[in-house]
Amino acid sequence: MQRTNFAEMACSIARTLDVIGEPWSPLVLRDVYAGFTRFEQIQADLGISRKVLTERLNHLVAHGVLERRPYDQRPRFEYVLTEKGAELVDLLMVMVGWGDRWLAGAAGPPVLYRHHACGEVSHVDLRCAHCGEPMHARDVDLLPGPGAAR
Amino acid sequence: MQRTNFAEMACSIARTLDVIGEPWSPLVLRDVYAGFTRFEQIQADLGISRKVLTERLNHLVAHGVLERRPYDQRPRFEYVLTEKGAELVDLLMVMVGWGDRWLAGAAGPPVLYRHHACGEVSHVDLRCAHCGEPMHARDVDLLPGPGAAR
DNA sequence: AGTCTAAGTTCCTTAAGGGAACCCCGACTG
DNA sequence: CAGTCGGGGTTCCCTTAAGGAACTTAGACT
């Protein structure tokens, strides 16, 4: 519902939430990434209301995160990740890392990730793009940037 | 909204959304991280409804992401990040990275992050915790984990 | 006693989510 | 070639959550 418009805020978190902050959106993205690319598949997998799924898909397409394309002569469509969308899936992987660590409980994580490069089951780690050392919330100072509000 | 209970799903994304998926929650967390630790400060900074802010703070405290503690003899409280919460801020930094890259526009990013270790303005990069190589959505295979639904 | 302030509550309005039923359209079936 | 099927949505109604303004509470200050 989110009647407040996050898109206008001078904050990249708020702007990102404007794209995927609505309920279900990250799960829709996860499904598309996992290979559930059609309306019926996503709806059945998530148990989401068809109405809401329509709204979310349209929103994600409008923001260039998904692309809607026909896969048949008949009016049939599938949704595929754009480059912009694929990079959002990286964000989901970080969510998975946190959820696995803090919420998985005794049963352990529901899904494992095997890294192509090394072949091992692993998880993401945040590093500084500049020096390669770990970069976490406590390892940085915040400075006003060029796009800061006046 | 979100009447659907994400917490029960066998998915770390859904479970994480149960904690911070409601509107405003990530921005509340950002504010606490940025030093706006009191009710009035957060309310004024975000322009959020007091009612909703109360609900969000209670929810985040209930989930162990924030801690509510008195800072005066009078009934005055401040909210501080727990370890669990601080690691969620890492997730926010990834959101910032995506938002800066895809949504900042000509004005540039509103906030810059200077890394303590190297002293440079930088951003986070996702690496494999095992081998240290880049680890993005396209670099992994998904496997069922021990906590997978039957 | 009266005022101030932080931190909430309460109450009302409006909009968004949930869910079931319905619709459209091209393809197959007898 | 009428009837059915299946994917991909719309429509409608009900309930619940967000927005927002006003009110409350409790201790400290004057």
A34-75 confidence digits (pLDDT tens): 999 999 999 999 999 999 999 999 999 999 999 999 998 888
Structure tokens of A4?
């407040």
* CA atoms of B66 and B58, how far apart (whole Å): 9
pLDDT for the residue numbered A48: 95
Half-sphere exposure of A145 (CA within 13 A, CB side): 22
| Strand C atom within 7 Å of A70 CB | no
Sign of CA dihedral A2, A17, B147, A50: positive
Enumerate residues 6+ apart whose C-beta is below 8 A from B142: A34, A111, A112, A113, A114
Between strands B111-115 and A140-144, the pairing is: antiparallel
User: Residues B140-145: what's their mean pLDDT?
Assistant: 95
Structure tokens of B5?
């209970």
Between strands B140-144 and B121-122, the pairing is: unpaired
A62 touches B at CB < 8 Å: no
Taking only residues 103 to 132 of chain B, the set having a beta carbon closer than 8 angstroms to any beta carbon of chain A reads: 103-105, 107-118, 120-132
Structure tokens of A119?
């072949």
Residue A19: pLDDT over 60: yes
pLDDT band at B80 (very low <50, low <70, confident <90, very high): very high
**Per-residue DSSP letter, B134:** B
pTM for this predicted structure: 0.94
Q: Residues of A from 50 to 79 whose C-beta is within 7 A of strand D: which are they?
A: 50-51, 54, 57, 68, 71, 74-78
Burial class of residue B86 (count of CB atoms within 10 Å of its CB; 0-12, 13-18, 19+): middle
Residue B32: pLDDT over 60: yes
CA–C1' A32–C26 (A): 25
- Residue written as token pair 């998975």: A96
- Residue written as token pair 């727990």: B82
| Strand D atom within 7 Å of A6 CB | no
3-state helix, strand, coil in chain B (%, to 5): 45, 20, 35
| Strand C atom within 7 Å of B5 CB | no
pLDDT for the residue numbered A64: 97
Is the CB of A102 less than 8 angstroms away from the CB of B112?
Answer: no
Is the CB of B125 less than 8 angstroms away from the CB of A121?
Answer: no
**A:B CB pairs within 8 Å:** 305
| Cβ proximity of A145 and B110 under 8 Å | yes
Is the CB of B96 less than 8 angstroms away from the CB of A12?
Answer: yes
| Mean per-residue pLDDT of chain B | 94
Angle between helices B50-62 and B39-46 (to 10 degrees): 120
pLDDT for the residue numbered A146: 95
Q: How many CB atoms lie within 10 A of CB A60?
A: 26
